[in-house]
Amino acid sequence: MPQVSKLSDKSKAGPKPSRSIAKVGIIGAGQMGSGIAHVVALSGYTVALNDLKRESYDKGIELIGHNMTRQVAKGLIKDADKDEAIERITFAPSMADFGDCDLVIEAATEDEDLKHKIFAALCPHLKPTALLASNTSSISITRLAATTDRPEDFIGMHFMNPVPLMELVELIRGIATEDETFATARTFVESLGKKIAVSEDFPAFIVNRILLPMINEAVYTLYEGVGTVEAIDKAMKLGAHHPMGPLELADFIGLDTCLSVMQVLYEGLSDSKYRPCPLLVKYVEAGWLGRKTRRGFYDYRGEKPVPTR
C-alpha cells in the first residue's frame, strides 16, 4: 500500500512530509467525490466515502465500477486492479466514521455555508494528526480553514473533472497552511499519478479564474443574440480547436457550479467583468443545470442533445 511517510534524509532541503497517509475519507459521493475515490482507491489507499444518502453512495460506486470497466477495456488497468480498488472503498454513513482517517477530502456542493457546516460536524471526530483538504473550485481556503480546529493542517486540493481522466490537481495554501502539510499533500497527490499546479489563495484559483469567465462570456454572447447555442459551440470547437464548446462544457460542469464560481469571482474581486450573465442565472433558477438534470443549454432527454435556444 502506498504511504506518504517521513523522510529520513535530513540533508535534503525544503519541507519534509512528516505524516503517513493510509486511509482517506471523502465527503460527497457525487461526480467529483466518486471520481476522487476512484483514483485514490486505485492507487492503493483505503477509502471511506460519505454521503447523506446510501442511495447516493451506491450510485457513486456504480459509476466508479463503470469507469473502471472502461479502463480495463482500454488496457489501462487489469480486472484484478478494479476488484481490489472497489473492495478498498467502504460507506461512511456518519462523520464519526472518519475517526481513523489520515486525510479527509471534502467534495461537497460548491456552497460555502454547507462546507462550514460539514467541517463543524467533522472536526470533533478527527484524530489530532489528520489533515483536511477541500476540493472547492473557487472558495477561499483561508476562510474555510479558519472555521476548523486545524487551519495549519488545511489545504485546497482541487481535482479536475472527470477526475480519472484529468491529469491536473491545483494545490492551494491558506495563510495558515504549514509547510509540512503542503509537502505531505504534494507527495500524496503525486502518488495518485497526478500533476500539480500551485495556486495562490485568490478567488477561483487558476483554472476557473480563466475558464469560467470564458464560459460566462459565451452565455453573454448567446444572451445578446450574437450567435445560437450551436453556432457558439461550433465556433470555439472549430475556430479555437477546443474539444468541447463553452456551452456544452457548462452543461457538463453544471450550470449551478458555473454560477457559484462566477459569484465568488464577482464578490471576491469586485470587478464588473465577472458579473454572472442574467441568462445563466435564469437557467439555474429554472432548475436547468445541464447534464445532471437532463436540460441546460442542451436538452438531453432525446436520443441526442438538442439546443434549448
CATH of the domain at 69: 3.40.50.720
Residues 194 and 90 in one domain: yes
Indicate if 42 and 190 belong to the same structural domain.
yes
Domain boundary among 165, 199, 233: 199
CATH number at residue 289: 1.10.1040.10
Among 159, 181, 199, give the residue marking a domain's end: 199
Whether 18 maps to a domain, the answer reads no
Question: Residues 117-123: what's their mean pLDDT?
Answer: 97
pLDDT at residue number 154: 98
HSE-up of residue 272 (Cα within 13 Å, Cβ side): 0
64 plus 143 within the same structural domain: yes
* CA–CA distance, 90 with 261 (Å, rounded to integer): 31
pLDDT tens figures, 65-118: 999 999 999 999 999 999 999 999 999 999 999 999 999 999 999 999 999 999
Average pLDDT, the chain: 94
Please, are residues 172 and 182 in contact by the beta-carbon 8 Å criterion? no
**Using an 8 Å Cβ cutoff, are 130 and 104 in contact?**
yes
Q: Please check whether residues 74 and 121 belong to one and the same domain.
A: yes
Here the cell at position 35 is 471520481
Domain identity same for 281 and 177: no
Indicate the number of domains in the chain: 2
Kindly state whether residues 144 and 39 are assigned to the same domain.
Answer: yes
Does a structural domain hold residue 4?
Answer: no
pLDDT, tens only, 260-285: 999 999 999 999 999 999 999 999 99
> What is the greatest pairwise CA distance in the chain?
63
- Encode pLDDT of 183-196 as tens digits: 999 999 999 999 99
Q: What is the pLDDT of residue 132?
A: 98
d(CA 13, CA 263): 41
pLDDT tens per residue, range 127-151? 999 999 999 999 999 999 999 999 9
Q: How confident is the model at residue 11 (pLDDT cuts 50, 70, 90)?
A: very low
- The verdict on 237 and 187 lying in the same domain is no
277 and 189 together in one domain: no
Residue with C-alpha cell 466514521? 97
Asked if 172 and 293 sit in the same domain, the reply is no
* The predicted structure's pLDDT at residue 1: 55
Asked whether 147 and 116 are in contact (CB, 8 A), the reply is yes
Q: Among 153, 177, 199, where does a domain finish?
A: 199
**Same-domain check for residues 28 and 130:** yes
User: Would 175 be classed as within a structural domain?
Assistant: yes
Q: Give the rounded percent of residues in the chain with a pLDDT score beyond 70.
A: 94
**Model confidence pLDDT, tens digit, residues 212-260:** 999 999 999 999 999 999 999 999 999 999 999 999 999 999 999 999 9
For residues 187 and 215, membership in a common domain is answered with: no
- pTM, to two decimals: 0.88
Residue 18, pLDDT score: 61
Assess if residue 2 is contained within a domain.
no
Reply yes or no on whether the pLDDT at 16 is more than 60.
no
Give catalytic residue positions. Answer: 137, 158, 170, 208
Residue 187, domain member (yes or no): yes
Same domain, 242 and 174: no
Residue 301 lies in a domain: yes
| Mean pLDDT to the nearest integer, 17-41 | 93
Has residue 9 been placed in a domain?
Answer: no
Write down the pLDDT at residue 19. Answer: 81
Range of the domain at 135: 23-199
Examine the pLDDT at 12 and tell me if it is beyond 90: no
For the chain, the DSSP string reads ---------TTS-S----S---EEEEE--SHHHHHHHHHHHHTT-EEEEE-SSHHHHHHHHHHHHHHHHHHHHTTSS-HHHHHHHHHTEEE--SGGGGTT-SEEEE---S-HHHHHHHHHHHGGGS-TT-EEEE--SSS-HHHHHHTSS-GGGEEEEEEPSSTTT--EEEEEE-TT--HHHHHHHHHHHHHTT-EEEEE-SSTTTTHHHHHHHHHHHHHHHHHTTSS-HHHHHHHHHHHS--SS-HHHHHHHH-HHHHHHHHHHHHHHH--GGGPPPHHHHHHHHTT--BGGGTBSSEE-SSSS-EE--
- Please indicate, yes or no, if residue 236 is contained in any of the structural domains: yes
